Amino acid sequence: MSNNGKRVAWVTGGGSGIGEAGAEALASDGWTVVVSGRRKDALQTVVGKISKAGGKAEAIPLDVSRAADVNQAAEQILAGHGRIDLLVNSAGINVPKRSWADMELEGWDKLVDINLNGVLYCMRAVLPAMRRQKDGCIINVASWAGRHVSKMPGPAYTTTKHAVLALTHSFNMDECVNGLRACCLSPGEVATPILKLRPVVPSEEEQARMLQSEDLGRTIAFVASMPPRVCVNEILISPTWNRGFVQTPNNRD
């Protein structure tokens, strides 16, 4: 399937944080970007920013934990653009009650539904089109917690991110023969709105030393820019001032 130079990217969790930064970086590289997320107003703000900067973007509101809605969104993109070249799975959450002492099954189920099932649903939704194209890239945003178990993120978040890492590598094992490739992007602490859900919210000074959303946006654009012969299987990236190494008082809980 010829793309005539057009590259179409679908970014979930595109209304804020890493997803937003990834969408902006891709658009600046010439990608046509479709952003999805649960908050329509936030998506429209991102689309407006990209359009104002001369990029091409549109929004499809979506809850990735609903498989039928995910399939419908993929079909909508294909109907409008004829292809999907890149999927960035950036939708993800955590909850305040995250330790064994206070975790609730409702919170566990919510994290599994979004952080893991949502990733799988989106991957499956784009797979037929990418196979037809014999080309396609998927970037799954996991976490440092997907490689290193620690107390702070909690068992549910840590488990789902470990699972995303395994899911990504298993995809490459099966789909490399079809010209498809996936990258597990595993960042350490990033100064995004999800930090507000922590039991102890990091100070402004601490957040300034963390990775910033635009750092991950540039990383996403880098992976997406590699030629089809290249599979960046995994990226483990952290702040230089890594609080997991330094052990500051607020990151022990």
Give the tens place of pLDDT for each residue, 13-41: 999 999 999 999 999 999 999 999 999 99
Res 56: pLDDT: 98
What is the count of structural domains for the chain?
1
Residue 157 belongs to a domain: yes
Residue 128 half-sphere exposure, CB side, CA atoms within 13 Å? Answer: 7
- Give dist(CA 241, CA 210) in Å, integer: 7
- Give dist(CA 139, CA 218) in Å, integer: 13
Domain of 83, in residue numbers: 8-251
- Give dist(CA 48, CA 65) in Å, integer: 26
Write down the catalytic residue from 26, 157, 184, 239.
Answer: 157
Instruction: Give the pLDDT band of residue 62 (cuts 50, 70, 90).
Output: very high
Residue 2 belongs to a domain: no
Given a cut of 50, whether residue 6 has pLDDT beyond it is yes
Task: Determine contact, residues 182/138, Cβ cutoff 8 Å.
Answer: yes
Return the minimum-mean-pLDDT range out of 7-11, 83-87, 95-99, 174-178.
Answer: 95-99
Residue 3 belongs to a domain: no
pTM: 0.94
pLDDT, one tens digit per residue, over 110-169 is 999 999 999 999 999 999 999 999 999 999 999 999 999 989 899 999 999 999 999 999
Taking CA atoms, 127 is separated from 112, 179, 209, 224, in Å, by: 21, 11, 38, 17
**Distance between alpha carbon 19 and the CA centroid of its chain, in Å?**
6
Residue 1 belongs to a domain: no
Question: Residue 98's domain is classified under what CATH number?
Answer: 3.40.50.720
Residue 232 belongs to a domain: yes
Given a cut of 90, whether residue 200 has pLDDT beyond it is no
Q: Which residues contact 235 (CB under 8 A, 6 or more apart)?
A: 183, 184, 185, 186, 219, 223
- 121 a catalytic residue: no
